[in-house]
Amino acid sequence: MNGELEFEPLGQAEYCDDDEPPSGGKYDRYVDSANYLEVKNHSAKAFPINDNTQSFIKKFYPGVTNEEWNSWRWQLKNSITSIKHLIKFIELTPQEIEAIDNPHHSLPLRITPYYASLIGRDNERDPIRRCMVPTINELLLSKGESSDPLEEQHYSPVPNLVHRYPDRVLFLTTGFCSAYCRYCTRSHMVAKDKCHVGVEAWQPALEYIRNHSEVRDVLVSGGDPLTMSDSHIEYLLQNLRAIKHVEIIRIGTKVPVVLPQRITHNLLRILKQYHPLYISIHFAHPAELTPETAEACARLANIGIPLGSQTVLLKGINDNVDTMKRLMQGLLKIRVRPYYIYQCDPIPGSNHFRTKVSKGIEIIKGLRGFTTGYAVPTFVIDAPGGGGKIPLLPEYFQGEIDGKVILKNYEDKTFYYPNPID
C-alpha cells in the first residue's frame, strides 16, 4: 500500500479512539439513522487533491488510492513522527536532525502526509517546514520565556478548564493534534500523554460550566478537538448545548489546514445540530490556502458556521505586509473572516520565532486602508502572567485640541474631527 515507504503502526498511546462515551447505544445512529442515506450520497462527492499533492503522492505514496489519501484516519495513522519517515521527503539539515532526535524539545514531531505535501522540500526556509520541523533553536531558553506564559493553570478551577474572563471559559478537551506547531502556546500540555483524554476526564469541567450561570460562551480547544471521533464531538456538543446559559460554542482548530479530509459529511451532520457554533481556524501562511482547505472551509460555511482565522506572527514566516495581505485576502476568498494576529507567546525556545511587537503594528498599518476592512484582523498580545488579550493599534488617535480630535489616516495625513459641544 505504501510504495517505497514503510510506516510504523501508530501506537495505542499516540492516538486512541476507543474510549467511547457512555450509553453507547445512541451513537449507533451514525450508521442507522434516517440521515444515513443523505450522508452516504453526500460522501460520494470526492474530496479534491491539488496538483502538487498529486505529484507528491505519485512520488512518495505510489500505491495509495485517492480514497485512502482522502481518509482522515489514514492520514492520522500514516502521519510522519520520526526522522526515519521525514528524511524520505526532505533533506534535513544537521540542526534539524539534532533537534528531532533530542529528547529535550517540548513537542514531538507530527505532520500529516497531506500537510507534508505542501512543504517546499529543498528549502530549509520554507514556511510550513519551519512551522513543523524542529530546529536546535527550540532548545535555547531565553529570558522571560516560560512553559505556561499565560499562567492558565492559575485560572483553572477544575482540570481541563480555564476561566479567565467573566463570561466565557476555555475547555481543553484533548491533548492531541494532527500536526504539532513548533511555537505552540500549549506545548506544556499538548502531546504529553499523546492521547485524547476521554469523556470521563471532561466531567468536572462540564459540571463547572453547569454550575456557573455567568458562562455564556465556551471555547472548545486543546490540542485540537476536531481530531476526536465523531461520537466524542457529538457527546461534547450535546452536553454543552444542554446547558441553558451557554449561548454560544466556539471551536478552535487547525484541522481544516493540516487535515482538511476530516471535514466529512458525517461530521457536518453533527455540527449543524448545535448552532450557534463558531469555528476559529489557525492559519500561518498563504501556502496553506489549497483547494483541499478551501473545500473544508466551504463545507463548514455551507452549514452556517461563521469561520474566523487566528494567525501567530512568526519571524521569517509571515512577518511582512505582503505575506499577511495575501493570507488575509485569501482567507476572505474561502469565506474565513480574519480575526486575530497574535504576538507569539514566549514559550521556551521561541526566541527565533518571535518578532518585535512593533512588527505587528507595522503589519496592521500596512493592511488598514490598503485593503478591505474585513481583511484586517486585530493584532493582540496575550499578556504574560494571565492579563488576557490586549489589542495593539497604530496611533490613529493623536489627541485633542480646541474641541477637535486629531486623527492620522492610513497615509499618515492629519485630519480633525469636531467633537460635540457639551
Q: What does the radius of gyration of the chain's CA atoms come to, in whole angstroms?
A: 22
**Residue tagged active-site, from 131, 184, 195, 297:** 184
Q: Which residues bind ligand SF4 (CB under 6 A)?
A: 177, 180-181, 184, 186, 190, 222-224, 254, 282
Is residue 56 within 8 Å of 117, Cβ to Cβ?
yes
* Secondary structure E strands in 111-244: 161-165, 168-172, 217-221
Q: Which amino acid is at 280?
A: S
Nearest-10 Cα torsion for 263, 260, 317, 187 = 60
**Residue tagged active-site, from 342, 345, 354, 365:** 345
Nearer to ligand SF4, 282 or 325 (CB): 282
CB of 145 to ligand SF4, least distance (A): 16
Known catalytic membership, residue 164? yes
3-state secondary structure 389-406: EEECCCCCEEEEECCEEE
**Residue tagged active-site, from 73, 164, 210, 408:** 164
CB of 324 to ligand SF4, least distance (A): 18
Known catalytic membership, residue 131? no
CB of 347 to ligand SF4, least distance (A): 10
Nearer to ligand SF4, 243 or 313 (CB): 313
**Residue tagged active-site, from 110, 130, 168, 299:** 168
Select from 48, 57, 155, 114 the least CA-distant residue to 385: 155
Known catalytic membership, residue 354? no
Q: CA-CA distances (angstroms) from residue 21 to 26, 43, 201, 222, 238?
A: 10, 25, 11, 18, 12
Nearer to ligand SF4, 290 or 365 (CB): 290
Q: CA-CA distances (angstroms) from residue 201 to 132, 136, 159, 210?
A: 29, 35, 8, 16
Known catalytic membership, residue 416? no
Distance CA 235, CA 228 (A): 11
Known catalytic membership, residue 402? no
Residues 6 or more apart in contact with residue 14 via CB below 8 angstroms: 81, 194, 195
Nearer to ligand SF4, 260 or 366 (CB): 260
CB of 258 to ligand SF4, least distance (A): 7
CB of 111 to ligand SF4, least distance (A): 11
Known catalytic membership, residue 184? yes
Select from 47, 49, 68 the least CA-distant residue to 117: 49
Known catalytic membership, residue 186? yes
Nearer to ligand SF4, 42 or 315 (CB): 315
**Residue tagged active-site, from 186, 254, 262, 365:** 186
Distance CA 257, CA 114 (A): 9
Nearer to ligand SF4, 127 or 366 (CB): 127
Q: Which residue has the cell 460550566?
A: 209
**Residue tagged active-site, from 30, 36, 155, 165:** 165
Known catalytic membership, residue 368? no
Residues 6 or more apart in contact with residue 402 via CB below 8 angstroms: none
CB of 181 to ligand SF4, least distance (A): 3
Active site residues: 164-165, 168, 177, 181, 184, 186, 345, 382, 389
